[in-house]
């Protein structure tokens, strides 16, 4: 079977749980629609920036063990997040780097040896229909992404258009230390509330001073933790209200559960705290057995953390935007006219820019 002109990747093996995700479906929770989107938003944003994509372009989120994919056209990709020991035709390639893949080559993401979720971005982004402002897969409601489900063997994915040849990006890499290692104990910053008054003072002290372990009961909806019981004042139930991303519910057994991207939009258990945005991504990389401790921060401290989080991406974007453009410039004279001609090339494909008119010459000879 011949690939259609838009097909870019074929799923040879789907991995444990691989979905199409972007930065989420914002503004529809009031109608009962979950946000969905990447759980580790920082990893997806960084992968897209590596490829000069918009930060919110859709990519693939792979959990625990990644997919095997066949390139149907020449591609440039980036993998950020969990280290799934990626291979191209059996040869190791680096995470956090823009990687060139030729048509017919096999990209394989193996079992994660560090972290839990890896994000695969492709130059141009994964092109699936936009539903309610997002390309993200909502697994509980089976819509969005690729047919509303996880990827399966034989699926074919398309990519969006790119403004210039992405081959010039090959070899670009994240700065050293940009992604911090998890560590044996994950400290998660939280803002108390919105129902901290439903817990006893001793219950709040327990929550903030004891260690908890992430259980195997975890998915894109949330992560259940196990540890010392957190005491309620008079039961766990409240009148159902909205559930923000990162809300920590405590059920009647006194055990906390952290709500993630595919969470229900309302809930009837008291919420003792909410995780700050940056630390939600770090939680998204925590595998069962990870030890977690909670650290209380004030609202001004949470705002400062959010500003610092955004500034990291601004600095990353500026670093790459400041690099010289890999194009050769020439001055062309035709009769009385003088024109500037920019030539951008890579892998035998050259783009010629002349007074805003772009013409592409395949397999041109560079002199």
pLDDT, one tens digit for every residue, the chain (367 residues): 333 348 999 999 999 999 999 999 999 999 999 999 999 999 999 999 999 999 999 999 999 999 999 999 999 999 999 999 999 999 999 999 999 999 999 999 999 999 999 999 999 999 999 999 999 999 999 999 999 999 999 999 999 988 777 788 899 999 877 777 778 899 999 999 999 999 999 999 999 999 999 999 999 999 999 999 999 999 999 999 999 999 999 999 999 999 999 999 999 999 999 999 989 999 999 999 999 999 999 999 999 999 999 998 998 888 877 555 444 445 565 655 555 555 554 433 444 555 444 344 444 444 3
> CATH 2.40.100.10: which residues of the chain?
185-302
Cis omega (within 30 of 0) for bond into 264: no
Q: What is the helix (H) or strand (E) element at residue 209, kind and residue range?
A: helix 201-209
Was domain 185-302 assigned CATH 2.40.100.10? yes
Other C-beta atoms lying within 10 Å of the C-beta of residue 100: 20
Residues 263, 33: Cα–Cα separation, whole Å: 9
CB 232 within 8 A of CB 271: no
- pLDDT at position 176 is 79
Q: What is the helix (H) or strand (E) element at residue 223, kind and residue range?
A: strand 222-226
- Is the C-alpha dihedral spanning 239, 243, 247, 252 positive or negative? positive
- pLDDT at position 285 is 95
**pTM for the full model?**
0.85
- pLDDT at position 181 is 73
CB 225 within 8 A of CB 258: yes
Residues 263, 276: Cα–Cα separation, whole Å: 16
- pLDDT at position 177 is 76
Task: Give the three-class secondary structure for 144.
Answer: coil
């Amino acid at each position: 079977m011949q690939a259609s002109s838009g097909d870019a990747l074929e799923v040879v093996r789907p991995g444990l749980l691989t979905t199409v995700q972007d930065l989420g479906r914002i503004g529809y929770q009031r109608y009962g629609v979950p946000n969905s989107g990447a759980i580790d938003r920082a990893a997806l944003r960084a992968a897209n920036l590596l490829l000069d994509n918009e930060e919110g372009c859709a990519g693939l989120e792979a959990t625990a063990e990644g997919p095997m994919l066949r390139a149907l056209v020449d591609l440039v990709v980036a993998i950020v997040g969990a280290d799934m020991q990626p291979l191209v035709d059996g040869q190791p390639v680096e995470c956090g780097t823009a990687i060139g893949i030729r048509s017919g080559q096999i990209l394989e993401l193996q079992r994660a040896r560090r972290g839990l979720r890896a994000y695969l971005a492709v130059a141009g982004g994964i092109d699936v229909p936009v539903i309610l402002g997002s390309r993200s897969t909502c697994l509980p409601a089976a819509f969005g992404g690729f047919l509303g489900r996880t990827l399966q063997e034989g699926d074919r994915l398309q990519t969006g258009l790119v403004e210039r040849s992405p081959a010039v990006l090959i070899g670009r890499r994240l700065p050293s230390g940009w992604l911090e290692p998890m560590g044996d104990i994950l400290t998660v910053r939280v803002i108390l509330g919105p129902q901290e008054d439903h817990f006893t003072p001793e219950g709040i002290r327990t929550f903030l001073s004891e260690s908890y372990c992430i259980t195997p009961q975890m998915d894109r909806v949330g992560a259940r933790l196990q540890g010392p019981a957190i005491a309620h004042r008079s039961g766990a139930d409240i009148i159902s209200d909205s559930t923000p991303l990162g809300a920590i519910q405590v059920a009647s057994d006194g055990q906390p559960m952290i709500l993630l991207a595919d969470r229900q939009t309302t809930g009837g258990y008291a919420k003792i705290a909410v995780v700050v945005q940056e630390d939600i991504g770090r939680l998204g990389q925590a595998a069962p057995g990870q030890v977690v401790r909670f650290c209380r921060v004030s609202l001004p401290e949470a705002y400062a953390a959010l500003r610092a989080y955004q500034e990291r991406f601004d600095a990353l974007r500026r670093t790459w935007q400041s690099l010289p453009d890999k194009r050769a410039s020439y001055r062309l004279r035709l009769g009385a006219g003088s024109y500037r001609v920019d030539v951008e090339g890579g892998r035998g494909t050259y783009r010629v820019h002349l007074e805003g008119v772009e013409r592409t010459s395949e397999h041109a000879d560079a002199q």
